[in-house]
């Protein structure tokens, strides 16, 4: 079944690329919504249901960490999976993000097959034979 996705990144170009990569990955996408920062994302989520959020970390106004904290504080949003798509290289910062509730992360640059694998794992579409921890990110 198609998944509704919210892409959160302050770069409009990167949001376009993520949309394209999602389509190329073969992951079943329904509505693909966008926001330029965490605050905008919360406004979108006030009016739309999404199945997964793909978010950058470094954004003005409200960054990825702020978004994670805000989502955790809202009962109706805290279970929406958040995958970080980021240039962040600090292992401690990425661990902090996972501790705040992110389900996984992808480092930029990324390839469609890596997006699909991580989303499939997180959204539970695997056949159960794949090993791995959904809290691990894809590094490349």
Partner 1 sequence: MDPKREMLIRDAISEVLEAMFFVSVGFSEPAHVSASSLFCCSSVQMCRGSETMEIGIAVTESFGRMIAANFLGIREEGVKSEELEDVLKELVNMAGGNYLDRADSENWQLEIPRFRRFAQSSSATLWGMPMDVLGEPAGLVFIESGSFCSQSS
Radius of gyration of the chain measured on its C-alpha atoms: 14
H or E element that contains 34: strand 29-35
Q: Please, which residue, 74 or 87, has the CB nearer to partner 1?
A: 87
SS3 content of the chain, % helix, strand, coil (to 5): 40, 20, 40
Give Dmax (Cα) for the chain: 41
Q: Please, which residue, 45 or 57, has the CB nearer to partner 1?
A: 57
> Collapsing DSSP states into helix, strand and coil, what is residue 41?
helix
* Shortest distance in whole angstroms from residue 13 CB to partner 1: 4
* Shortest distance in whole angstroms from residue 86 CB to partner 1: 7
Residues making contact with partner 1 (CB under 8 A): 11-14, 16-17, 20, 58, 60, 86-92, 107-111, 139-140
* Shortest distance in whole angstroms from residue 28 CB to partner 1: 20
* Shortest distance in whole angstroms from residue 88 CB to partner 1: 7
Q: Please, which residue, 47 or 92, has the CB nearer to partner 1?
A: 92
CA 9/CA 30 separation, integer angstroms: 19
């Amino acid at each position: 079944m198609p998944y509704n996705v919210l892409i959160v990144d302050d770069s409009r170009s990167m949001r376009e690329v993520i949309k394209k990569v999602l389509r190329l990955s073969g992951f079943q996408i329904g509505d693909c919504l966008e926001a330029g920062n965490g605050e905008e994302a919360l406004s979108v989520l006030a009016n739309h249901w999404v199945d997964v959020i793909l978010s950058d970390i470094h954004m003005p106004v409200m960054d990825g960490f702020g978004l994670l904290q805000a989502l955790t504080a809202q009962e109706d949003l805290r279970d929406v999976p958040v995958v970080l798509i980021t240039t962040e290289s600090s292992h401690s910062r990425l661990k902090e993000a996972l501790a705040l509730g992110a389900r996984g992360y992808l480092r930029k640059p990324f390839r469609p097959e890596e997006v699909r694998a991580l989303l499939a794992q997180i959204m539970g579409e695997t056949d159960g034979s794949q090993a791995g921890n959904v809290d691990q990110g894809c590094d490349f």
